[in-house]
Amino acid sequence: MPNCHALLLCFLASALFLLPGCGDQENPYRDYYFPLDDFDGGQVYIYEPANELGLGNEIWALTTTRTDSGTVLTTRIFDPSHTLIQRIRETEVMNGMLADETVYYTRDTNDVRITVPLTITRHALFPFTVPDTSKVYTYQASWKEPGDSTLTTTLTRYRRYDREDRISLPGRKPVNCVVMKLQEEIENDGEGVLSLKMNGEETYGKHLGLVAWKRILPSGDTIAFQLKETMSLKQYEAKYGTLNDQ
């Protein structure tokens, strides 16, 4: 299994029913998601820990492609040593983003990489529509644990629009943001059902996308990350080395 934070990032997703939209006036929060039109050549977001738990940076490589069904965003998430942790593929529709595929990667005792696909039962990621603070968006996905195909882990995420905010990021002017509150439950159906619950939030900056997130673990510790810098994929690889899927 990957570390706790890497596991959580596998599920950058929430659930809602996405209906045909009626134009930008009814999708005011489109500008708070990742700017897909800027990612054709690849863009890298570097996130740094916002507290003192000894975690390293995360590197997100984001690339868009155009298909008959819409604009597709592929996100590859790497640890500081450029080891691939997750891959997420999603499609833009009229009033939100739909998750097509999520995979995370771990290693066995022989240091051989294992690919773990998720079964996503609801596919929405981020709504562009006018928020309803009373509405809860639910996401659920499950996967078989490596080495034990009889053991299933299920994540249920409840997301709710909370507020608009304005935050400061390193090297940037203050950014207008939308904040989503999260409640999450992870269940494991081993010997009985083990359930872990946690709260958190995600912050999306206008014309930037995800700029900060945090999770409060059952232990009381908080995992928190914030956006450090962005650059093109070409610039990143020239400076820090190639990001590949091996």
pLDDT(243) > 80: yes
Q: How many CA atoms lie within 13 A of 121 on its CB side?
A: 10
**Annotated domain spans of the chain:** 4-240
pLDDT tens for 11-54 read: 333 333 343 334 455 678 899 999 999 999 999 999 999 987 77
| pTM for this predicted structure | 0.85
The pLDDT-based confidence of 119 (bands split at 50, 70, 90) is very high
β-strands 113-117, 148-167 pairing? unpaired
9, pLDDT greater than 70: no
Residues 6+ apart with CB under 8 A from 224: 49, 50, 51, 212, 213, 214, 215
Instruction: Say if CB 89 and CB 74 are below 8 A apart.
Output: yes
Q: 139 pLDDT exceeds 70?
A: yes
pLDDT at 191: 62
Fold of 4-240: YmcC-like fold (2.40.360)
